[in-house]
Amino acid sequence: MIQEGATNRYRVNSIDILRGIVMVIMALDHTRDFFHNEAFTRDPLDAATTYPLLYFTRWITHFCAPVFVFLAGTSAYLSGQKKTKKELSSFLFKRGLWLVIIEVVIVSLGISFDPLYNIIFLQVIWAIGISMILLSLLIWLPYKAILTIGFVILLCHNLLDYPEAARNGKVGFWWDLLHRGSFAIYPITDNHVLAILYPFLPWVGVMALGYCFGALYRREVDPVIRRKWLLRIGTTAIVLFIVLRLINAYGNPLQWAPQSQWWRTVLAFLNVQKYPPSLLFTCMTLGPALIVLAFLEKIQNRVTSFFAIYGRVPFFYYILHFYLIHFLCVIAFFLTGHTTNQIVTPQFPFLFRPPTFGFNLAVVYAVWIFVIAVLYPLVKRYDLYKQRNRKWWLSYL
């Protein structure tokens, strides 16, 4: 379960497997964005109008961001086992700043293919980056203080929903950046705008809790005891989600309501807010993930080895997959008869991807599988290179 490679790096295989699983699933959501013919014309999570496969295709990807951010905090804790607090703080600050820059310069370009950067996206890489910067300060506090801060943010940040609702969501730039922003658009210049998709406060709480969670993976912790705690914490999160969702009063800005059919009611019940991640969203996703993590400790086969490769080099894979998906979209754009005068759609951020362009879900799934297959040898080769080398810059990729 815990491995040390040729470079004597301390790794937890089950964490790599889980991270790899969510990274592979994540590509499905981004493939849907670029290839599904209803990606921008229908809400896949609207219980009144969706259908099960479309709903599942979107809903299953909800696990990706919270699991990835949480495990980024866990990795920070494990990294600190071989660093002084000063070294860890410096590393987290520099890597966080690097990630913010990458989000603005590299990821935004991969999403839009717009060399003029008319729109800059602040998505999950930005959220991880700013959370790492703040974690670089939090680690100087006692462990219990970090744990308390993480829980307070997780449990209480939805209290901010009430003043936001009172102002009809018009809270201003800094508040949107902190908590409210859900595809909030702010002009930078006459021709450039900033799109806030991931306000950072809730994600700081998730990463802080992930950091504290790393204590369960210290070498001296009995694996049996750890698995018991994973099951307890995961089950508690799921129960909390169910209870609060049934009460329908706190933990998510929007309430659920019975639908015309029982299965649509179930879909409405499970449809919780991701932007920003509500308390219920976090419990719904991290709870099952921790239970899966407990079982992964005892599983080692070709399938888990496959996912672990993606989990060991997630950032490298993340960058590549966006560019590959968008490049394939460009090919499909021209193969379906579109012309150069249709590359840009006014008021739409993605080049080569008109709002009405796309295919059915069968094609989406086929392209997703193709993307994973094409990237596998590249990811595997980079993983081997990273294992055999200890160059300083590899820790930033």
Q: Distance between CA 270 and CA 355 in Å, rounded?
A: 27
Span of 228-232, 233-237, 367-371, 384-388 with lowest mean pLDDT: 384-388
Number of H helices, E strands in the chain: 16, 5
Write down the pTM of the prediction: 0.95
Q: E strands within 134-232? A: 184-187, 193-196
Q: Distance between CA 292 and CA 309 in Å, rounded?
A: 18
Output DSSP code: residue 103. I
CA dihedral 297, 300, 302, 305 (to 10 degrees): 50
% of the chain residues with pLDDT over 70: 97
Q: Distance between CA 213 and CA 71 in Å, rounded?
A: 9
Type of residue at 135: L
The radius of gyration of the chain from alpha carbons, rounded to an integer in Å, stands at: 21
Mean pLDDT of 329-342: 96
CA distance to 2, 11, 14, 33, 121, per residue, from 298 (Å): 11, 15, 9, 35, 39
Give the CA angle between residues 24, 29, 32 to the nearest 5°: 125
Q: Distance between CA 102 and CA 294 in Å, rounded?
A: 33
pLDDT (tens digit per residue) in 183-206: 899 999 989 999 999 999 999 999
pLDDT (tens digit per residue) in 128-183: 999 999 999 999 999 999 999 999 999 999 999 999 989 988 899 999 999 988 78
> For residue 213, what are its two tokens?
């969670």
Q: Classify residue 327 by burial, with Cβ atoms within 10 Å: 0-12, 13-18, 19+.
A: middle
Q: Which helix (H) or strand (E) holds 123?
A: none
Q: Is the dihedral of CA 146, 149, 154, 155 positive or negative?
A: positive
Closest by Cα among 329, 336, 339 to 30: 329
Q: Distance between CA 372 and CA 50 in Å, rounded?
A: 27
pLDDT of residue 1: 53
Output DSSP code: residue 178. I
pLDDT of residue 123: 94
Closest by Cα among 130, 73, 68 to 315: 68
Contacts of 287 (CB under 8 A, 6+ apart): 233, 234, 235, 236, 237, 238, 240, 241
The CB density around residue 316, as the number of other CB atoms within 10 Å, is 19
pLDDT (tens digit per residue) in 44-90: 999 999 999 999 999 999 999 999 999 999 999 999 988 999 999 99
Task: For residue 238, name the pLDDT band (cuts at 50, 70, 90).
Answer: very high
